Structure 1
């Protein structure tokens, strides 16, 4: 399911055939925690390649020397000020892929958000953005927000607003899958500065705010905390 045609212009749904096959494998209830971790990492790697190709620019860096003694001009990425911001818990499963892609180490900040069961409204319980109570203090120019599943869109939208208030200039949201309505809500939170990249889009949500057919609860699948009752 690659998603509906009518999505905001700042939403990008990948059509990579390998990614689509891996997403299909991830949907299966037979995928164990090790499979889920590997598939999320691999999907994030492919998706990250596509997103960063459009979001970063290669610029000339300092001069270096090859093992044979020849000088050459190095290449750096712009913007240099980048941070990864996984939404706890499931966003942690996407961090390693982006660390692999980026040519230099970058800060990893964490946002803890959960949906209040009755209203499905987002509640923040953790925030370790540096100086996040002081707008613009220590903010990265580009924040890469990692959230495997965008369901109602409330959590993603709240995270975007938090990063905006922190002082970032641009946000890339990477998600494995999202509901059309929730993705649209998140995309409209700050459209001039946000791009959302997904492997797939589902049309429906259950009355509990879960995607249909979806992936289940990715955090539970990653960390083996699925309820037995």
Structure 2
């Protein structure tokens, strides 16, 4: 049995892309793409109440924090972050980003205790970008 998503929702749901990666040397987030419409909208009705942020791995928490900040500054009232794995420290950093209680909600599949000096989870699952784009060892 399949139900079309459109029949469940009163209107189409906008999908936007906010692309960030972590610079490997400094471990700082770099925004490479942002197609949020009306980057600084004039009216409150121009942006959604809830944004769902997909971040495969929250290691240091830097890219999650940068994405959360961008969405909140844009005017989203609540950010839901969904991740496969996180470190305890990265998860804590991302969770504290929301200025008002309940503004940021994080769902994570598992949590590792450590992050290496290169910002990788230990034991972790390797670099997600390398796995997605087949750049392991380059």
Counterpart in the other structure of 1:124:
31
Counterpart in the other structure of 2:131:
221
When Rg is computed on C-alpha atoms for both structures, the one with the higher figure is 1
Counterpart among 61, 65, 71 of residue 157 in structure 1: 65
Mapped contact 1:137–1:167 kept (Cα < 8 A) = no
Mapped contact 1:145–1:171 kept (Cα < 8 A) = yes
Counterpart among 73, 76, 81 of residue 168 in structure 1: 76
Secondary structure at the aligned position of 1:120 is classed as coil
**How far apart are the structure 1 equivalents of 2:135 and 2:90?**
25
**How far apart are the structure 1 equivalents of 2:133 and 2:26?**
25
**Unaligned ranges ≥5, structure 2:** none
Counterpart in the other structure of 1:201:
111
TM-score (norm 1): 0.52
Counterpart in the other structure of 1:177:
85
Counterpart in the other structure of 1:140:
48
**Unaligned ranges ≥5, structure 1:** 1-99
**How far apart are the structure 2 equivalents of 1:106 and 1:187?**
25
More helix by share: 1
2:88 maps to 1:189 = no
The count of aligned residue pairs is 128
| 4+ aligned runs moved over 3 Å, structure 1 | 133-137
Counterpart among 113, 120, 123 of residue 210 in structure 1: 120
**How far apart are the structure 1 equivalents of 2:13 and 2:133?**
25
Secondary structure at the aligned position of 2:46 is classed as coil
When the two chains are superposed, the root-mean-square deviation of aligned CA atoms in Å is 2.0
